[in-house]
């Protein structure tokens, strides 16, 4: 299960993934905040699209990620 960066508003092309709240191997529930992301207008959170286990984190904290980029992989529950 891919975790992609959603588009919050028309002007958003990319965001800064400021902090991860989970590590590889953690169990997560659908809707659980996985990371903080910062854009030109707002600080938002990236939520888990479904329940499962975090298999892979693909972006480093503090880096810029594009809308639609896959930043994590979950093994579905």
Instruction: Summarize as ranges the residues that interact with another protein (CB under 8 A).
Output: 3-14, 39-42, 44, 47, 49, 67-68
CB of residue 46 vs another protein: minimum separation in angstroms?
A: 9
Q: What are phi and psi of 52, to 5 degrees?
A: 165, -160
Angle at 12 between CA 22 and CA 5, to 5 degrees: 30
Beta bridge partners of 28: 52
- Sheet with 27-28: strands ordered across: 2-4, 70-76, 52-57, 27-28
By beta-carbon proximity to another protein, the closer residue of 26 and 47 is 47
CB of residue 12 vs another protein: minimum separation in angstroms?
A: 6
CB of residue 25 vs another protein: minimum separation in angstroms?
A: 22
By beta-carbon proximity to another protein, the closer residue of 27 and 45 is 45
């Amino acid at each position: 299960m891919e975790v992609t960066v959603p588009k919050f508003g028309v002007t958003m092309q990319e965001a800064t993934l400021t902090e991860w709240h989970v590590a590889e191997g953690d169990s997560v529930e659908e809707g659980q905040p996985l990371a903080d992301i910062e854009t030109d207008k707002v600080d938002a959170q990236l939520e888990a699209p479904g329940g499962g286990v975090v298999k892979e984190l693909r972006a480093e904290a503090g880096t810029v990620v594009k809308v639609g980029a896959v930043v994590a992989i979950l093994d579905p529950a």
